[in-house]
Amino acid sequence: MRYYKIVFLLFIFTLASCGKSPLLNKVGKNLSESAGGVLLSEQFRNEQLGFSINWITPPALDDLSSFEFKLERPLKNNQTLNVYIWMPDMGHGSSPVEMKQLNSTDYIFSELAFIMPGLWVLHVEILENNQVMDQWQKSITL
């Protein structure tokens, strides 16, 4: 009987040590620069190309996130966009981000899975012939 009490206590201890509930984690201060969900006055420096981001589903631990990405002008013929999220403290990212191009300047990026609380970095890159020509990043704390 004593053995069962020890196993039960270990089980309870294990459950209690799993961390904070994802339901209690919300977007941190780093997204406070947004106004109505749109990040304003952002620009790729090398390409001199402005853009805006509108979060359709904001970053959260309990749901997949998505955002609309609008360029001020189309990319050059041999250029493409690449988006990924990275957790520098843990040294890993998350599942691949899905991209849907709506027209020459508008994109929807979805399936962003912020899988644990902490600092994440959203990376948006302009690729030319699969080489990074310019990049922009934004820290997000969940």
DSSP for residue 22: G
Burial annotation 124-136 (CB, 10 A radius, 16+ → b, else e): bbbbeeeeebbeb
The domains of the chain are located at 21-141
What is the predicted pLDDT for the residue at 9? 52
Single out the residue of 114, 13, 2 nearest to residue 55, CA to CA: 114
Could you please state the CATH topology (level 3) that the domain comprising 21-141 is classified under. Immunoglobulin-like (2.60.40)
Per-residue pLDDT of the chain (142 residues; tens, 9 = 90+): 566 666 565 555 554 444 444 434 444 444 444 444 656 668 999 999 999 999 999 999 989 999 999 999 999 999 999 999 999 999 999 889 999 999 999 999 999 999 999 999 999 999 999 999 999 999 999 9
What is the predicted pLDDT for the residue at 1? 58
